Amino acid sequence: MLDHTHVPAAASWVDGTRGHPDFPIQNLPLGVFRQGGGTPRVGVAIGDQVLDTRAAVELGLMDGLDPASRLALTAGALNDWMALPPAARTALRHAVFALLDADHPGRARHASLAGQLLRQQAQCELLLPADVGDYTDFYAGIHHATQVGRLFRPNSPLMPNYKHVPIAYHGRASSIRPSGSPVRRPTGQVRTAAGVDVPALRPSAQLDFELELAIWIGPGNALGAPVPLAAAADHAAGYGLLNDWSARDIQAWEYQPLGPFQGKNFASTVSPWVVTADALAPFRCAPMARGGDDPELLPYLRDEADAAAGGLSIALEAWLSTARMRELALGPCRLSASDARHLYWTPAQMVAQHTLGGCNLRPGDLLGSGTISAPDDSGHGSLLELTRGGTRPIELPSGETRLFLEAGDEIALTAHCRRDGFARIGFGESRARIID
Amino acid sequence: MLDHTHVPAAASWVDGTRGHPDFPIQNLPLGVFRQGGGTPRVGVAIGDQVLDTRAAVELGLMDGLDPASRLALTAGALNDWMALPPAARTALRHAVFALLDADHPGRARHASLAGQLLRQQAQCELLLPADVGDYTDFYAGIHHATQVGRLFRPNSPLMPNYKHVPIAYHGRASSIRPSGSPVRRPTGQVRTAAGVDVPALRPSAQLDFELELAIWIGPGNALGAPVPLAAAADHAAGYGLLNDWSARDIQAWEYQPLGPFQGKNFASTVSPWVVTADALAPFRCAPMARGGDDPELLPYLRDEADAAAGGLSIALEAWLSTARMRELALGPCRLSASDARHLYWTPAQMVAQHTLGGCNLRPGDLLGSGTISAPDDSGHGSLLELTRGGTRPIELPSGETRLFLEAGDEIALTAHCRRDGFARIGFGESRARIID
């Protein structure tokens, strides 16, 4: 649903927000911040600042909202906000928009309270947006699945189930960290040589990133009560960026027969701002077109609204900065430019699939989309693809080369949405540096 | 460490506890109970009753304990108890033992408070012992892995990694339920016929149980700080019974390449009582003997103390009762008699492996051992094994047969420990009925 919060001419009275590349008033993503060791508070990004929503509630500026929404804004995590019904999340967005809107009749009073309402983002610690009950990682990036599958099975890269069922695995919730937390290279069992079934204990020599979309779950469902596809979109409360770090050598030795485990569970890095489903409304698009040889979907994965606008058009990028590049004052280099359009399955299809057998989702659960690669070489969402399985080094502006990540390497994932007639909005970033 | 709490002649002043098959004073497992819609409270099972530990604290009967331990006893879940250091958990056991001991000098006063301290278990709702942050399921039952592997790969049933690395996958925490909660048969994508790569949407026709040991994690570790094997046993705070329900037909279609997902995540049933590591001290044993052709373990999985007594001797049983059997007033029939001795990896090795790459464990995390089957036909820990992959029906006392579970079927897992010179202790049960 498009409404006045999407009008591109709208602007905030907060300085420097008009035309802000990520956080103009049309975005209003939520997050959790802390200042100087204080308690975590919910905030909304506006330009380079953070609106302290608890302060807004305490100043009586959110009195038009229902009590559950006001309570969610004074919590220390976004789980309560995610638990709100979609209409309440939309009403909350409108209330925040009104507070920050330069054209609002109360503008003068609102602006006079800026000192109590606003914090500089740069002076805040941005925390994990929610307490993640469960983290599930899908495998919906079909170009990634194809390119990785081709490394192992040149003639049949995609498994027979791929185009029938949104494949996923359960990931580790405890090791999810917000942008900025360093990632320690894991030690693990790896094969002593390719094709040799004898392991050695070593620090991973094949540490990789994965460019993924994060989907934050809203109200969720009771155990045993599947969410039908037509209702599934209401359960995706917001979106972020997820780097599902992977140790390819550990993964290759461990993954049969039960899938990835220690090749993944040492860390996942998520961006701190939750871009709401409402903010993304202008950027909905049709899901990836099925080809003539693609199988017909089972009815539970088909829904007219989802087939018309269940996809998302989000430009996604991955950037690398090495220690040497920083010494040379070279900026990060872009490794990948992809788009959420390259997902074979929509977020709603993921929710419908996840709950099909009765599995319950809870507010604050996190879904990863799977690595989103473009169909061409400019948009590989992992080094595994960029280096053809670790065989072709990539060259960096510093004269260095990389097959996989080294100590001091920093990966930043970024994303933004653009469409004619709408303000550009961005996701901020998921950034982390490798330490040994 | 054996101490006075393990002396077989010890007895409680609580009626009917001497020689109780599960809960004599030598056991003292902890759990969480609720009465009549009240708030959840921590309790200790003693005979057929529950000691209300909050009441004990409020009556001043736990004043010898440190504040963190007293606080853990007044909480609504066992996470705080699990977070205590092992010495504090032992001191707490001694304090509860003293309160219930028939030979304690304070016996008369303690017994006079029975009305405030004790509840009938049968009148309590027994809840999930802890808020499970993450649930990991290992695959350490080597006879199960061999028997299931043989169904698919007759000549090489075990994967090459099996005897080198404790294999595991991440499971779903949100759908873990305590004993007594019904399990709804999941619907999912299954192959329309064996070997045909076309799916249909159906209720699972191959619903199975899995007989597993549950391991409740104690203090845990910080992200990036592995727990060495010599310290790992301290992180297994207690044990229970876990039924990791499995829909074999859903699993068979979905599991490549990322492992089990919807074939498992619709439900797991855990027993409500946490049998402490202290209570199990007399039942430690050497781990499974490695054969001459077994590979040497990497050093991080070798530790003298663990190699001497890292195993557990726990008799495990699975029982089936069908609706027809109950109509005929026939008791449950035993499907399986196995033992935790049949685990290839010790709980300490599981903890050391899980944290090897830096993954953090948190108090209240749950590890499953994997299905524990005996080497012979009397101890298959799943119907998949009992029916040879769903090809040979088992016969029941009611004249019925089963390949997999039907509506109304109830599976109960039970366990007990016996050793000459020690009191028998038991685990209670993990029981659940299938509903369609």
Domain ranges of chain B: 4-126, 135-435
Encoded tokens for B345: 């990896």
Reported as a single tens digit per residue, the pLDDT across A206-245 is: 999 999 999 999 999 999 999 999 999 999 999 999 999 9
Q: Do the interacting molecules here have an ipTM over 0.90?
A: yes
Contact of B45 with B23, CB cutoff 8 Å? yes
- B174 with A262: Cβ contact below 8 A: no
Q: Can you name the CATH fold of A135-435?
A: Fumarylacetoacetate hydrolase; domain 2 (3.90.850)
- B262 with A359: Cβ contact below 8 A: yes
Q: What's at B39, amino acid-wise? A: T
SS3 per-residue string spanning chain B: CCCHHHCCCCCECCCCCCCCCCCCCCCCCEEEEECCCCCCEEEEEECCEEEEHHHHHHCCCCCCCCHHHHHHHCCCCCHHHHHCCHHHHHHHHHHHHHHHECCCCCHHHHHHCHHHHEEEHHHCEECCCCCCCCEEEECCEHHHHHHHHHHHCCCCCCCCCCCCCCCEEECCCCCEEECCCCEECCEEEEECCCCCCCEEEEECCCEECCEEEEEEECCCCCCCCCCCHHHHHHHEEEEEEEECCEEHHHHHHHCCCCCCCCCCCCCEEECCCEEECCCCHHHEECCCCCCCCCCCCCHHHCCHHHHHHCEECCEEEEEEECHHHHHCCCCCEEEEEEEHHHECCCHHHHHHHHHCCCCCCCCCCEEEEEECCCCCHHHCCCHHHHCCCCCCCEECCCCCEECCCCCCCEEEEEEEECCCCCCCEEEEEEEEEEEC
- A261 with B167: Cβ contact below 8 A: yes
Please tell me the predicted confidence (pLDDT) of residue B194: 87
Taking one residue from A and the other from B, the number of pairs with CB-CB distance under 8 angstroms is 187
Mutation site, B249, B261, B296, interface A, largest A CB count within 10 A: B261
In B, minimum Cα distance to A370 occurs at B258
What is the CATH class of A4-126?
A: mainly beta
Contact of B324 with B333, CB cutoff 8 Å? no
Closest partner residue to A356 among B226, B262, B365, by Cβ?
A: B262
- A255 with B260: Cβ contact below 8 A: no
Residues of B in contact with A207 (CB under 8 A): none
- B250 with A201: Cβ contact below 8 A: no
- A170 with B165: Cβ contact below 8 A: no
Q: Which residue in B144, B235, B342, B380 is the catalytic one?
A: B144
* C-alpha distances in Å from residue A402, one per residue of A392, A407, B327: 9, 12, 69
Reported as a single tens digit per residue, the pLDDT across A63-102 is: 999 999 999 999 999 999 999 999 999 999 999 999 999 9
Contact of A57 with A73, CB cutoff 8 Å? yes
State how far the Cα of B354 lies from the Cα of B370, in Å rounded to an integer.
Answer: 14
Closest partner residue to B133 among A173, A186, A354, by Cβ?
A: A173
**Largest Cα–Cα distance of chain A, in whole Å?**
72
Closest partner residue to B201 among A258, A298, A360, by Cβ?
A: A298
Residues of A in contact with B262 (CB under 8 A): 353-354, 356-357, 359
Closest partner residue to B134 among A167, A172, A258, by Cβ?
A: A172
Residues of B in contact with A186 (CB under 8 A): 356-358
- A358 with B259: Cβ contact below 8 A: no
Instruction: Please confirm, yes or no, whether B6 is among the known catalytic residues.
Output: no
Please tell me the predicted confidence (pLDDT) of residue B216: 98
- SS3 at position A356: coil
Q: What's at A406, amino acid-wise? A: E
CA atoms within 13 A on the CB side of A10: 23
State how far the Cα of B244 lies from the Cα of B249, in Å rounded to an integer.
Answer: 15
**Identical topology for domains B4-126 and B135-435:** no
In A, minimum Cα distance to B253 occurs at A161
Please tell me the predicted confidence (pLDDT) of residue A154: 86
Mutation site, A175, A183, A262, A384, interface B, largest B CB count within 10 A: A262
Encoded tokens for A4: 């006045």
- B164 with A199: Cβ contact below 8 A: yes
Block residue for tokens 């609504």: B76
Mutation site, B296, B359, B365, interface A, largest A CB count within 10 A: B359
Closest partner residue to B258 among A226, A259, A300, by Cβ?
A: A259
Contact of A397 with A381, CB cutoff 8 Å? no
- A170 with B174: Cβ contact below 8 A: no
Walk along chain B (436 residues) and give the pLDDT tens digit of each residue. Answer: 799 999 999 999 999 999 999 999 999 999 999 998 899 999 999 999 999 999 999 999 999 999 999 999 999 999 999 999 999 999 999 999 999 999 999 999 999 999 999 999 999 999 999 999 999 999 999 999 999 999 888 888 999 999 999 999 999 999 999 999 999 999 999 999 988 999 999 999 999 999 999 999 999 999 999 999 999 999 999 999 999 999 999 999 999 899 999 999 999 999 999 999 999 999 999 999 998 889 999 999 999 999 999 999 999 999 999 999 999 999 999 999 999 999 999 999 999 999 999 999 999 999 999 999 999 999 999 999 999 999 999 999 999 999 999 999 999 999 999 999 999 999 999 999 999 9
Q: Helices marked H in A256-412 — which ranges?
A: 304-309, 323-327, 347-355, 383-386
Q: Which residue in A144, A342, A354, A380 is the catalytic one?
A: A144
Q: What's at B190, amino acid-wise? A: V
A333: β partners: A320
Contact of A175 with A265, CB cutoff 8 Å? yes
Q: Distance from A130 to chain B by nearest Cα, in Å?
A: 13
- B133 with A226: Cβ contact below 8 A: no
Closest partner residue to A262 among B298, B359, B361, by Cβ?
A: B359
Q: What are the residue ranges in chain A where pLDDT is below 50?
A: none
Q: Distance from B115 to chain A by nearest Cα, in Å?
A: 37
- B361 with A174: Cβ contact below 8 A: yes
- What pairing do the DSSP bridges indicate for beta strands A118-120 and A49-52? antiparallel
